[in-house]
Amino acid sequence: MIRIIHTLGGCGGTLLSRCIGVLPGVALLSEINPASVKLFPEFDPLCQDRKWFQLLDPAEADQFSTIDLGIARNFQELIEVFHTRAVAASRHLVLRDYSYVNFIGVPFIPDPPCRLILRTALPNAISTASVAFIRHPVDQWVSLSKHAEVKAVLTPAIFCDAYAAFLRELGAEQVYKYEDFVQNPHGVLRAICHDLALPFDPSFIHRFHRFNWVTGDMTRHGDQSISAPVRMNLPTAVIAQFDASKSFEYVLRATSYARPVMVQYPTW
């Protein structure tokens, strides 16, 4: 089985990945997607395997390094080999999806397809299990906007439209919330492990902060406990942009997130 965690970015996926990464036998490829392989070196699954797992033998790594992994067929073949090697090593292969490029795109992809591309780029013969991880849209937008490449181009309207498309594409997918996870990390991770057929180990809570084989926001890398970030007031003009978005209304209804009386944002 191949396990998938669908995230849109800025939702605490790095924290969740660190917790899953320390579970027994897990080999987690972080923020991979056919559309993002060439964006940054750390998003290349070959680079991750070379640094973290060494599931592939040198000949396989060399072979795949000469082909375009942005082509779905080539990406599919690579994941199939990863799965074969993981099974042989008694490892549980987990793919943390980088859905940002499929739904939001800016400034990397001008016309994102608004589809879960990773779903269609996996070997058909191998069964999959998947979940999605989300966060309140305002907090998630603020978190994404910390990144220099994104800050100047990701408006609340663009983000809310992408978030709504992401939710529609998920369909009946099991969805977990960042807010629930930080309130009850043991209970939520246990449920995620059940859905992904992964072994749960309660000692993750004491070890996740030492797991560095992930990509993403490492601002709170040194934190040894799981908690929500400190917040400060968000400018009224930004709140107005969210309120003007019909997609914002849809996201709140679809996720049962409340409209805050005073919207706030993290300082980190």
Q: Tell me the domains of the chain and their CATH numbers.
A: 2-214+226-266 (3.40.50.300)
Q: How many residues does the chain have?
A: 268
User: Can you give the pLDDT at residue 129?
Assistant: 97
Residue 58 dihedral angles phi and psi, to the nearest 5°: -55, -40
Mean pLDDT of the chain: 93
Q: pTM of the prediction?
A: 0.94
User: Can you give the pLDDT at residue 217?
Assistant: 82
Q: Coil, strand or helix: which one is 47? A: helix
List Cβ neighbours of 225 (8 Å cut-off, separation of 6 or more).
none
Name the β-bridge partners of 5. Answer: 96, 131
Q: Could you tell me the sign of the dihedral formed by the alpha carbons of 195, 196, 201, 203, in that order? A: negative
Q: Could you tell me the sign of the dihedral formed by the alpha carbons of 157, 161, 164, 170, in that order? A: negative
Would you place residue 151 in the very low, low, confident or very high pLDDT band (cuts 50, 70, 90)? confident
